[in-house]
Amino acid sequence: MAFTPVLHSEWIKIRTLRSLVGALLAIVLATALFSALAAADTEGPDFDPLFSTFFGVSFGQIAAIAFGTTAVSAEFQGGALRVSLAAVPRRGRWFAAKAVAVGAPVLAVGLMTGCVSLLVGKAALGAKASGLTWSEGLRGAVGCGLYLTLMALLAAGLTALLRSGVATLSILVPFLLIVSFVIGGMSGTAADLLPDKAGQVVLHETSDGMLGPWTGLAVTAVWTGVALLAGAWSLERRDA
């Protein structure tokens, strides 16, 4: 089967699952809500107007990884993967289509989320947003979309490797909410190379670490690429 019909079939699976549609909506709502709350609290010497505007991404990314995880883990329930591979025997092609079907809607929703967060955050900041330039806002909105997409694909690759949505979420959610926050203050060290810390540099007005906005996203892309390759390897080597 050619790639286009495979992609079409994978997209049908995604858009017909209510939980996945709900996860996409949650990306927008969680990011915008927490961005507005963060922008309303602007006290402190380390105030960063750009990151305050996009602070909600720290919570919206949970919905993004839930989307990527659920989209892949559904294949490992009830023999669904055997049916998918019976229709598409070339496992690499099938997994590539699954990755595109996961990444494309998250990218679209992520870019919209970036724009919404920018508008909501600037409105909440009021006069304190006057220092933000047009180019910084655009960089943040685009970076927001790219970052959320990479995190969803990271989750998709890890789920394919582990063959369990529960295991994937049990690793990623505590890591993002606890581990990364605990060691994330060690700027200028290996902590800067963590997938979430590296990718979120694009959402800061300035960075004191070793990475810049786009090199940070590139580091996150490397993590995502490794996860996807590992997931593809697992699919090729293990029985359906």
Number of domains in the chain: 1
125: confidence class by pLDDT, cuts 50, 70, 90: confident
**Residue in the structure block whose two tokens are 């309303």:** 40
Q: Range of 31's domain?
A: 3-237
**Each residue of 219-232: pLDDT tens digit?**
999 999 999 999 99
- Pick the range with the lowest mean pLDDT from 16-30, 31-45, 61-75: 31-45
| Cα 240 from Cα 94, distance rounded (Å) | 13
- Round to whole Å and give the CA distance between 159 and 154: 9
CA geometry: angle 89, 94, 100, nearest 5 deg? 170
Whole-number pLDDT of residue 79: 80
Please, which pLDDT band fits residue 36 given cuts at 50, 70 and 90? Answer: confident
Is 175 exposed, middle or buried, given 0-12, 13-18 or 19+ CB atoms closer than 10 A?
Answer: middle
Structure confidence at residue 43 (pLDDT): 63
Q: How far apart are CA 21 and CA 126, in angstroms?
A: 33
Residue 234 binned pLDDT confidence (cut-offs 50, 70, 90) = very high
Q: What is the pLDDT of residue 153?
A: 98
Digit-coded pLDDT (tens) for 65-81: 999 999 999 998 878 88
Q: What percent of the chain has pLDDT over 70?
A: 92
Q: How confident is the model at residue 134 (pLDDT cuts 50, 70, 90)?
A: confident
Higher pLDDT, 167 or 178: 167
What's residue 39's pLDDT? Answer: 73
Please state the length of the chain. Answer: 240
pLDDT classification of 191: cutoffs 50, 70, 90? confident
Does the pLDDT at position 157 exceed 60? yes
pTM of the model as a whole: 0.92
